């Protein structure tokens, strides 16, 4: 035992004074990788201390008050939280069935060539900058909603509070629709991958037992890919919550809570975008930073869940390979 | 009995056909959105786009004509600065993640990078405002570029990592067996082998940040004139689209459409060419 150690030791001491190129390269690249952690911590830290005046003054009331008045320096975040959650929920209501349906078509029915081409196009849609969605929505979707869709909804369901009030064109529903278009590319491409990771034998077994194509898809394939699809939904939700420009351009900028989906509202990201530059007072900008902190916490939570679900299904998928 | 079976089967077949058709309808609806957006933008933007757009400054409301030359230059400056800052950092971090990182630390950095990638862009704007604009007492192209580089770093790092890991183990072993140290192997064998993929993720990253508006709103701000320098408020195409589209002037709307067409054209060309580099249908980092 002693001899090998004695043999090894001299070579070590010989090497020691020199810094090997590998160690240098490792330390050098580590510096940049660590920068990612440093920047992220700095971001959270700045949000935390930047919002401390507002946190000290309003405490928990900030989250439950619906008063937003820069003149009297009173700030409550509830209308913005409500608007953010409501528009994102509306978006998912539209984009989940549409996205999962399209993903089923792409993974189960379309030929690989068609499927890849269509997925490529859908992923291009994900690359369209959000301000362009906003631009198009202002001049096409908003008039369309104001003149046709919203009056039609009022005629049909006007007695319920959900569709009451005048039709402005801008508001929760319009923002939700734009967000739906911005989220389904994510839902489609991730769901499709999850569906394609389902082992072929699962489908064959169901079909061999006499199930129709749809029965095999609905009862066997979808449950198998459930977690990955759910992950894609959470990914879309995280994007919808943090989405700024398109929503800012169609939400209507009204810091109040309305039951009607046709009413103008406000979201967290939109109020920061509109008011941050003109926030003169210390408390005003601090309240906006706290809104940023709330938005950050919300999206991080949702993103974390999404990441976990997607990792779990890809693991399951690779296990069969 | 037989009759019951057939009526039941008929119903099952009908459900099958209806549902499968519906999934096809979903696919058509979603894909056609892209074409709807493109054609609407090309129609409106094409009407408004002319040479002046690229060479003239914006005019004050009420005057006809003008262009967005300052915003084109401003966007280029901001994105170039963001790339100079973000691409090397992201690339080197990606090399560390793929080649050197111990398991647990690697997981931590990877997770943090994904976290940073998921931060809403408006929140990135707040951060850049606190650490650059406030100390400098000045909105600037630098602050805008800094904000965008923060979005570019995690995209580049994860992309670089993914494509480095796809390089076959045997290539590394071959170089190492010839006596090359690890870092020489990485620099002369592994990175060149993953060159295409890394380039692709870089192009996609730059394309993504060049369309970002929210982080620029209170960092680069905006400017109706030529920017006086990198440390001064600077116009950019996305912010111009926002301010012009939401303003109540007819002529500004036309300019916004032209700017939208130019911006989307650039972004889509970058995306399509990047995806042509790697084989089509290959999964790309999001």
The domain ranges of chain B are: 10-48, 66-277
Residue A91 has pLDDT above 50, yes or no: yes
Q: pLDDT-based confidence at A320, cuts 50/70/90?
A: very low
Indicate if A9 and A36 belong to the same structural domain.
yes
Degrees to nearest 5, angle at CA B113 with B109 and B114: 120
Do B120 and A241 make contact, defined as CB atoms within 8 angstroms? Answer: yes
Give B212's contacts in chain A (Cβ within 8 Å).
129
Number of domains in chain A: 2
Q: Cβ(B258)–Cβ(B45) under 8 Å?
A: yes
pLDDT of A64 above 80? yes
Q: Within this chain, do residues A146 and A13 fall inside the same structural domain, yes or no?
A: no
Nearest to A129 among B111, B157, B211 (CB): B211
**What is the C-alpha separation between A164 and A179, in angstroms, rounded?**
22
The 3-state DSSP class for residue A75 equals strand
Top CATH class, B66-277: mainly alpha
Q: B164: which residues sit within 8 A by CB, 6+ positions away?
A: B94, B95, B98, B99, B190, B191, B194, B198
pLDDT greater than 60 at residue B274: yes
Looking at residue B281, its pLDDT comes to: 42
Q: Where are the beta strands (DSSP E) in chain A?
A: 68-69, 74-75
**Do A59 and A34 sit in the same domain of this protein?**
no
- Contact between chains at A245 and B150 (C-beta distance less than 8 A): no
pLDDT, residue B265, reads: 95
Q: Report the gap between the CA of B41 and the closest CA in chain A (Å).
A: 7
Contacts B25 to A, Cβ<8 Å? 101
Given a cut of 70, whether residue A314 has pLDDT beyond it is no
Option in B20, B125, B157 nearest A109 (CB) = B20
* Res A85 pLDDT > 60: yes
Asked if A43 and A181 sit in the same domain, the reply is no
CA closest to B255 among chain A residues: A135
In this structure, are residues B215 and B53 in contact, taking their beta carbons and an 8 Å threshold?
A: no
Measured between alpha carbons, how far is residue A10 from residues A21, A22, B138, B203 in Å?
20, 20, 60, 49
Residues of B in contact with A126 (CB under 8 A): 286
Q: What is the pLDDT of residue B279?
A: 58
Q: Which of B79-93, B154-168, B198-212, B272-286 has the weakest average pLDDT?
A: B272-286
> Are A34 and B242 a contacting pair at CB < 8 A?
no
Is residue A183 located within the same domain as residue A267? yes
Whether B211 and A131 lie within 8 Å, measured CB to CB = yes
- The answer to whether the CB of B74 falls within 8 A of the CB of B242 is no
pLDDT at B276 over 90: no
Nearest CA in chain B to A34: B109
**Which pLDDT does position A316 carry in this prediction?**
52
- Between chains, do B99 and A238 touch, taking CB under 8 Å as contact? no
What pLDDT is stored for residue A18 in this prediction?
Answer: 55
In this prediction the ipTM stands at: 0.92
Whether B207 shows a pLDDT value over 70: the answer reads: yes
A30 to chain B: which residues are within 8 Å by CB?
96, 100-101
Q: State the residue range of the domain holding A145.
A: 55-320
pLDDT band at A290 (very low <50, low <70, confident <90, very high): very high
Pick from A77, A44, A71: nearest CA to A58: A77
Residue where a domain stops, chosen among A12, A34, A50:
A50
**Cβ neighbours, 10 Å, residue A136:** 25
Alpha carbon separation from B58 to A145, B52, B140, B219 (Å, rounded) = 31, 10, 19, 21
Distance between CA atoms of residues B283 and A248, nearest Å:
32
Q: Give, for A286, the enclosing helix (H) or strand (E).
A: helix A282-320
Give A-chain residues touching B184 at CB under 8 angstroms.
Answer: 21
Chain A interface disruption, residue of B9, B14, B17, B96, most A CBs within 10 A:
B96
Tens of pLDDT along A157-209? 878 888 988 889 999 999 999 999 999 999 999 999 999 999 999 999 999 99
For residue B35, pLDDT over 90 is answered with: yes
Mean pLDDT for A88-114 is 96
- Chain B interface test: which of A25, A36, A38, A234 (most B C-beta within 10 Å): A36
Summarize pLDDT for A274-284 with one digit per residue, the tens. 999 988 889 99
Chain A residues within an 8 Å CB radius of B264: 128-129, 132
Does residue B140 sit in helix, strand or coil?
coil
Neighbouring C-alpha atoms within 13 Å toward the C-beta of B159: 31
Query: Could you tell me if A34 and A68 lie in one domain?
Result: no
What number is the average pLDDT over the span B55-59? 90
Residue B283 has pLDDT above 90, yes or no: no
Closest C-alpha to B66, from B278, B256, B204: B256
pLDDT, greater one: B213 or A303:
B213
Number of helices (H), then strands (E), belonging to chain A: the values are 17, 2
Task: Name the region of A57 (left: φ>0; alpha: ψ -120 to 50; beta: rest).
Answer: alpha
Q: Which among B90, B118, B160 is the top mutation candidate for probing chain A, defined by the most A β-carbons within 10 Å of its own β-carbon?
A: B118
Q: Of the candidates B100, B113, B207, which has its C-beta nearest A30's C-beta? A: B100
Taking only residues 182 to 221 of chain A, the set having a beta carbon closer than 8 angstroms to any beta carbon of chain B reads 184-186, 188-189, 193, 212-215, 218
Whether residue A16 has pLDDT greater than 70:
no
Query: DSSP assignment, residue A129?
Result: -
Q: Which of A43, A130, A139 sits opposite B127 (nearest CB)?
A: A43
Nearest alpha carbon to residue A177 among A261, A90, A277, A260: A90
Contacts of B271 in chain A (CB under 8 A): 124, 127
Q: Are residues A264 and A118 in the same domain?
A: yes
B285 has a pLDDT exceeding 60: no
**Does the pLDDT at position A106 exceed 90?**
yes
Q: In this structure, are A70 and A28 located in the same domain?
A: no
A91, A240 Cβ separation under 8 angstroms = yes
**Smallest Cα distance from B148 to chain A, Å:** 13
A237 and A127 in one domain? yes
Decide if A119 touches B, using CB distance below 8 A. yes
- Computed over every residue of chain A, the mean pLDDT equals 89
Mean pLDDT of B173-202: 92
Helices (DSSP H) in chain B: which residue ranges?
A: 2-48, 51-55, 69-95, 103-118, 121-128, 134-136, 141-165, 169-177, 182-185, 191-193, 195-210, 237-246, 250-277
> Element (H or E) spanning A175, and its range?
helix A172-196
Other C-beta atoms lying within 10 Å of the C-beta of residue A66:
14
CATH code of A90's domain:
1.10.3720.10
A34 and A179 share one domain: no
* Chain B residues close to A84, C-beta within 8 Å: none
| Count of residues making up chain B | 286
Q: For residue A135, list chain B residues with Cβ-Cβ distance below 8 A.
A: 41, 241, 245, 256-257, 260
> What are the chain A neighbours of B245 within 8 Å (beta carbons)?
134-135, 138-139, 249
Same domain, A271 and A293: yes
A159 DSSP 8-state letter: T
Do A148 and A218 lie in one domain? The reply is: yes
Q: Rounded distance, CA B229 to CA B227, Å?
A: 5
Q: How confident is the model at residue A308 (pLDDT cuts 50, 70, 90)?
A: confident
CB of A245 closer than 8 Å to CB of A130: yes
């Amino acid at each position: 035992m002693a001899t090998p150690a004695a043999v090894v030791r001299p070579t070590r001491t010989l090497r020691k004074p020199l810094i090997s190129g590998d160690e240098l390269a490792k330390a050098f690249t580590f510096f940049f990788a660590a920068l990612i952690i440093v920047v992220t911590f700095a971001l959270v830290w700045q949000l935390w201390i930047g919002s401390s005046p507002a946190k000290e003054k309003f405490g928990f009331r900030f989250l439950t008050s619906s008063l937003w008045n820069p003149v009297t320096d009173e700030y409550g975040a509830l209308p913005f939280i409500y608007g953010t959650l409501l528009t994102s929920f509306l978006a998912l209501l539209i984009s989940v069935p549409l996205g999962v349906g399209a993903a089923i078509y792409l993974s189960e029915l379309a030929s690989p060539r068609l499927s890849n081409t269509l997925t490529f196009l859908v992923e291009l849609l994900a690359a369209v900058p959000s301000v362009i969605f906003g631009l198009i929505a202002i001049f096409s979707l908003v008039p369309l909603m104001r003149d046709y869709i919203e009056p039609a909804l009022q005629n049909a369901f006007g007695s319920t509070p959900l569709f009451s009030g005048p039709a402005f064109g801008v508001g929760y529903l319009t923002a939700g629709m734009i967000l739906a278009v911005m989220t389904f590319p994510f839902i489609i491409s991730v769901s499709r991958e999850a569906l394609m990771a389902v082992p072929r034998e699962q489908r064959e077994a169901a079909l061999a037992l006499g199930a129709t194509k749809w029965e095999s898809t609905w009862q066997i394939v979808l449950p198998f890919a459930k977690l990955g699809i759910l992950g894609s939904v959470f990914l879309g939700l995280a994007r919808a919550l943090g989405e700024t420009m398109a929503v800012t351009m169609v939400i209507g900028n009204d810091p109040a809570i309305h039951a009607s989906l046709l009413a103008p509202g406000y979201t967290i990201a939109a109020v920061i975008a509109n008011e941050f530059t003109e926030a003169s007072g210390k408390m005003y900008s601090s309240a906006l930073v706290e809104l940023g902190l709330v938005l950050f916490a919300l999206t991080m939570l949702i993103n974390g869940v999404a990441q976990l679900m997607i990792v779990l299904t890809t693991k399951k998928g690779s296990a069969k390979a | 009995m037989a009759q019951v079976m057939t009526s039941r089967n008929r119903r099952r077949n009908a459900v099958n056909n209806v549902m499968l058709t519906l999934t096809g309808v979903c696919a058509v609806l979603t894909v056609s959105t892209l074409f709807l957006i493109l054609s609407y933008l090309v129609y409106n933007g094409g009407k408004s786009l002319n040479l002046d757009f690229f060479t003239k400054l914006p005019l004050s409301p009420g005057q006809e004509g003008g262009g967005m030359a300052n915003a084109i230059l401003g966007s280029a400056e901001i994105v170039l600065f963001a790339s100079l800052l973000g691409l090397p950092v992201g690339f080197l971090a990606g090399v560390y993640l793929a080649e050197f990182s111990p398991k647990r630390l690697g997981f931590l950095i990877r997770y943090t990078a994904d976290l940073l990638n998921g931060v809403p862009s408006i929140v990135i704007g707040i951060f850049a405002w606190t650490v650059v604009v406030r100390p400098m007492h000045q909105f600037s192209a630098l602050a805008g570029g800094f904000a965008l580089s923060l979005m570019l770093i995690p995209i580049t790092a994860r992309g670089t990592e993914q494509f480095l890991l796809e390089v076959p183990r045997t290539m590394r072993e071959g170089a190492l067996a010839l006596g090359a140290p690890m870092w020489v192997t990485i620099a002369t064998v592994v990175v060149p082998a993953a060159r295409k993929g890394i380039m692709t993720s870089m192009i996609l990253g730059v394309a993504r940040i060049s369309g970002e508006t929210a982080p620029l709103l209170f960092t680069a701000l905006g400017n109706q004139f030529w920017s006086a320098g990198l440390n001064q408020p600077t116009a950019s195409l996305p912010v111009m689209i926002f301010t012009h589209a939401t303003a109540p002037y007819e002529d500004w709307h036309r300019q916004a459409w032209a700017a939208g067409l130019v911006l989307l054209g650039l972004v889509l060309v970058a995306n399509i060419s990047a995806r042509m580099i790697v084989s089509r249908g290959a999964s790309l980092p999001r």
